[in-house]
Amino acid sequence: MTQSEILPAPLSAEAAAQAIADLARRRGLHASLREAQQAWQDVTAQSDAERLAAAWALLFQGHTLETVPLSLLTPAQLPAWVLAPNQVGVLLRLADGARHAEIVWPEAGEAPPAPSAFALVPVPPALAAEKIEVERKQRGPATQAILAAIRQHLPLLLRIGLVSVLVNMITVVSSLFAMQVYDRVVPNSAYATLWVLASGVLIAYVFELLFKLIRLKLMEASAKRIDEALSLYFFEKVMALKLDRRPSRVGSLVAQIRDYEFIKSFFTSSTLFVLADIPFQLFFIAIIAMIGGDVAWVLIGFAPLCLLIGFSVYRPLAAVQREQSDEVTRRQGILFEAVAGAEIIKAQGGESNFGNVWLRSTRETAKRSEKLHLLSAYAQYATYITQQMAYVAVLTVGVYRIGDGELTMGGLIACSILSSRALGNIATVTQLLLQWHHARYALDVLNQVLSCPSDDAAGREGNTSSAPLDLAINELRYAYEGVQVNQLAVPKLSIKAGERIAVLGRNGSGKTTLLKLLAGIATPSGGDVTIAGLDIQNCRPSWLREVIGYLPQEVRLFSGTLRENLTLGLSLPSEERIWEALQKTGLDVMVRRHPLGLNIPIREGGSGLSGGQRQLVGLTRLVLQEPRIWVLDEPSSSLDKEAEERLVLMLRNLPRHHTLIFSSHRPGWLELADRVLILEDGVLKVDVPSERVKAVQNGAVPRPAAAVAAQGAR
Ligand SMILES: Nc1ncnc2c1ncn2[C@@H]1O[C@H](COP(=O)(O)OP(=O)(O)OP(=O)(O)O)[C@@H](O)[C@H]1O
């Protein structure tokens, strides 16, 4: 069925514009009614469905609409359009069991119209591109990035290959020189010829030096450019990984990302010269055949032998190397954990435990190192002996050829020089294979890391400058990565812009998790969190960070100065604004007292300030950010009474349309709230106006009655 058969009656421009703007909003995109109407007028099509698709594609570059039969639709494809005469409805939920499908019609009337048998499903560009990418290549993001960088620098790499060809040519020159000296110069005492030949070879060597330097320079240039492109790409990718969906062991993660060095060094190191040299082995053998005839058979016999030795150790070596890589990553993780948590380890006397783990890991690494060394030494010695045997064989066969009068003394010497060069290069192939294996393993790991959910997925463009920033939760479920049960389940919650909300509950009840989800820092496992009607997961991260200010329980600072820490991520606020913010939070007293003022140094890991001061820095940063939604996780946990009172005053004086959501174990904070949420084991048990809780606290309402009243209050 074509799209033109789906909708018999024409749509009005207003209805179409309304439908486009509405679906865009639900999909986390943004288009005003006027934009949508303009797009509708700008396109023509045979049917309204096709026209809708064209207008959609015009408004949102790269986005498309797919026609999908309702029976084949999956929940992941919702919301989507369904059509009826003169109307476009939005399908929000599919029918399942006794439940009917949920469709929102602009003019529902008494009886809702019958929807078409097809839905129009918007497909974001990233998804479309990703689908094609996966189907076409089945390659990971790191592989794609590296291939793209190599493709970009292909001309440079080809030049390197060309210079390698020239270097190999010169090797032939030196063997021919030896041949001429033994055959022509020595028997005839032709000193003049000797000098001419020697000068020629000298010039060739000068060129060889020059070519090698050029090759090195080109290699360095390509390494630098590829590294610059890739390291920034990987850094940005890693930073964009969703915090709660990336591998949880930070130390190991850092080590895995650092393994990118292996990949880089494989693609940019001199071992790659070997690749350019390999075709030359055939060239050398051909020259030996021309000079020494049957002597070439010696090489044809020994070259596969050298390769065989390489391949015989490749598999065991690769396996040990893989284990070694994993162990080194684990070791890095242990070290990272021990250094970062040194304070608590010392305080609890846990040094020996960590020492034991470290020692075990060291032993494992050393055991594998030994295996690696043994295997590679075996390969090296065996290849060396094979080369020596080949040398002897070349001379032996050569002597017979001389006896037959088919080879000269000089020819034999030239053959021996060329044969050792040819076999030497073949032996390095094993080395190249091993390096490739190591690089490929690192690449697989990197592909896995970078395939974790990320914030920079294309299509995250939702934002609004006009709609009130109401927050809403719908069928929200959350489980931390690797945990089988839900740590938070909130079926429905709606927070109007300007509300002041306290989130209370015992330790581990899910307050932090809820706040992170509301701030868009955590990713729901099911259901959604919306801001101004837009799915928070589809909103532009920079816009989210502008409108939502999040203060974590533990504020972490970075090495630099206090000023740099305060203005991190902000577009350089003026000196006055910084001081104004400092005064609001009370941090100005400490800054004024310090001789370096705002340039107080912060050391790596954020040390240099007390816990309370760090919390004040975090708060001052939020004041500078001027968000419209403040999400604060136990903002006063490290503050003294005076600082806390100042903070409460500041928050009380926030503009009325600013939303404030905080968790706190301090009773005084309830004064700030006009609504209280109480969590218990990840379930929202109570949602009531704060007066009720205060009344319970003051004993004005008996506790059980208040609790019952509270449960159903909203
Ligand atoms: N990174 C994590 N991985 C796995 N489980 C986690 C993680 N962080 C928290 N949890 C679990 O999730 C649940 C909710 O934790 P959350 O930090 O939201 O509690 P909370 O109410 O903020 O506690 P507190 O008052 O102690 O800060 C707890 O059971 C906790 O054990």
Q: How is 137-171 classified by DSSP, letter by letter?
A: H---HHHHHHHHHHHHTHHHHHHHHHHHHHHHHHH
Which run of H or of E encompasses 614? helix 611-625
490 and 420 within one domain:
no
Choose among 278, 250, 256, 395: nearest CA to 334.
250
- Closest residue by CA, ligand 1 atom 6: 480
pLDDT of 695 reads 66
DSSP per-residue codes, 329-374: HHHHHHHHHHHHTHHHHHHTT-HHHHHHHHHHHHHHHHHHHHHHHH
How many angstroms is it from 488 CA to the middle of ligand 1?
A: 10
Residue 115 is part of a domain; what is its CATH number? 3.90.70.10
Q: Does residue 107 sit in the same domain as residue 176? A: no
Q: Is the CB of 398 inside a 6 Å radius of any atom of ligand 1?
A: no
Strands 500-505, 659-663: parallel, antiparallel or unpaired by DSSP?
Answer: parallel
Q: What's the CATH code of the domain at 299?
A: 1.20.1560.10
Q: Which amino acid residue places its CA nearest to atom 12 of ligand 1?
A: 487
- Whether 486 lines ligand 1, by a CB cut-off of 6 Å, is no
For residue 124, report the distance from its CA to the centre of ligand 1, in Å: 34
Q: Say yes or no: CB of residue 487 within 6 Å of ligand 1.
A: yes
Atom of ligand 1 nearest to the CA of 682: 14
pLDDT digits (tens, 9 = 90+) for 357-381: 889 889 989 998 999 889 888 888 8
Identify the pLDDT of residue 712. 36
pLDDT tens for 435-471 read: 787 788 888 878 877 777 777 665 666 777 777 889 9
CATH number, domain at 545? 3.40.50.300
Average of pLDDT values for 620-630?
Answer: 92
What does DSSP assign to residue 468? -
Task: Return mean pLDDT, the chain.
Answer: 81
Report if residue 590 sits inside a domain.
no
pTM of the model: 0.62
Q: Is the CB of 79 under 6 A from ligand 1?
A: no
Q: Is 664 a pocket residue for ligand 1 (Cβ < 6 Å)? A: no
Q: Which residues pair with 492 in a beta bridge?
A: 474
Q: What gap in Å lies between CA 569 and CA 625, rounded to an integer?
A: 9
pLDDT at 295: 85
The tens digit of pLDDT for each residue in 636-649 reads 888 888 889 899 99
**Is residue 575 domain-resident?**
no
Distance in angstroms (rounded) separating the CA atoms of residues 373 and 144: 33
Average pLDDT over residues 690-697: 67
Per-residue burial over 113-122, b if 16 or more Cβ lie within 10 Å, else e, is bebbebbbbb
Ligand 1 near 509 CB (within 6 A): yes
Q: With a cut of 70, say whether residue 700 has pLDDT above it.
A: no
Q: Tell the residue nearest (CA) to atom 8 of ligand 1.
A: 480
**Which helix (DSSP H) or strand (DSSP E) does residue 119 occupy?**
strand 118-123
Q: Would you say the CB of residue 507 lies under 6 angstroms from ligand 1?
A: yes
Cα gap 183→189, rounded to integer Å: 11
No. of helices (H) and no. of strands (E), the chain: 24, 17
Statement to judge: residues 132 and 146 lie in one domain: no
**Residue 500 backbone dihedrals phi, psi, to 5 degrees:** -115, 115
Q: Is 505 in the pocket of ligand 1 (CB under 6 A)?
A: yes
CB neighbour list of residue 209: distance below 8 Å, 6 or more residues apart? none
pLDDT, mean of residues 280-289: 84
On whether residue 578 sits in a domain, the answer given is no
* Boundary (domain end) residue, out of 113, 137, 161: 137
Residue at a domain's end among 112, 137, 162 = 137
Strands 560-561 and 601-602, sheet pairing: antiparallel
Per-residue pLDDT tens for 192-230? 888 998 998 899 889 889 988 888 888 888 778 777 777
Higher pLDDT, 594 or 154: 594
Mean pLDDT, rounded, for 59-85? 81
CA of 236 to the centre of ligand 1 (A): 28
Q: Ligand 1: distance of its center to the CA of 508 in Å?
A: 5
| Residues 223 and 319 grouped into a single domain | yes
Do 387 and 490 fall within a single domain?
Answer: no
Q: Are residues 131 and 210 in the same domain?
A: no
Q: From atom 4 of ligand 1, which residue's Cα is the shortest distance away?
A: 480
Does ligand 1 have an atom closer than 6 angstroms to the CB of 698? no
Cα within 13 Å of Cα(609), Cβ side: 31
In the reported structure, the alpha carbon of residue 611 is separated from the centroid of ligand 1 by a whole-number distance in angstroms of 21
pLDDT of amino acid 618: 92
Count CB-CB contacts under 10 A for residue 372.
Answer: 17
The ligand 1 atom nearest the CA atom of 681: 29
For residues 60 and 112, state if they share a domain.
yes
pLDDT of residue 530: 92
Residue 276 structural domain: 141-450
Confidence of residue 417 (pLDDT cuts 50, 70, 90): confident
67 is a domain residue:
yes
Looking at the predicted structure, is the pLDDT value of residue 132 above 80?
Answer: no
Final residue belonging to a domain, choices 137, 155, 178 = 137
The count of domains in the chain is: 3
> Considering only CA atoms, which of 236, 92, 205, 229 is closest in space to residue 150?
229
Residue 455 lies in a domain: no
pLDDT in tens, 497-533: 999 999 999 998 999 999 999 999 888 888 889 998 8
Same domain, 194 and 97: no
Q: Is residue 483 lining ligand 1, measured as CB closer than 6 Å?
A: yes
Check residue 704 and give its pLDDT.
44
Give the C-alpha separation, 576 to 119, whole Å: 56
**Which atom of ligand 1 sits closest to the CA of residue 510?**
18
- pLDDT digits over 25-52, tens only? 888 777 777 778 777 877 777 788 888 9
Q: Is residue 605 part of a domain?
A: no
Task: State if residue 508 touches ligand 1 by the CB under 6 angstroms criterion.
Answer: yes
Q: Is the CB of 512 under 6 A from ligand 1?
A: yes
Q: CB–CB of 293/407 below 8 Å?
A: yes
What pLDDT is stored for residue 518 in this prediction? 94
Same domain for 385 and 509, yes or no, is no
Mean pLDDT of 347-352: 82
Query: Would you say residue 248 has pLDDT above 70?
Result: no
Together in a domain, 446 and 486: no
Mean pLDDT computed over 616-622? 92
What is the tens place of the pLDDT at every residue in 153-169?
778 778 887 887 788 78
For ligand 1, what atom is nearest to the CA of residue 679?
Answer: 21
- Checking if the pLDDT of 697 tops 80, the result is no
- Residue 191 and residue 199: Cα distance in Å, rounded? 12
Within a domain: residue 615?
A: no
Confidence label for 110 from pLDDT (cuts 50, 70 and 90): low
Based on the fold, state whether residues 128 and 73 are members of the same structural domain.
yes
Q: Give the pLDDT of residue 683.
A: 92
% pLDDT > 70, the chain? 89
- Going by alpha carbons, the residue nearest to atom 2 of ligand 1 is 480
Instruction: Indicate the length of the chain as a whole number.
Output: 714
Beta-bridge partners for 663: 503, 633
Residue 211: closest CA among 175, 183, 243, 173:
173
Find all residues with CB under 8 Å of 48, minimum gap 6, and list them: 7, 10, 11, 16, 83
Has residue 503 been placed in a domain?
A: yes
Residues 427, 374 share a domain: yes
Ligand 1 mean position, distance from CA 333 (Å): 22
In this predicted complex, what is the ipTM? 0.95
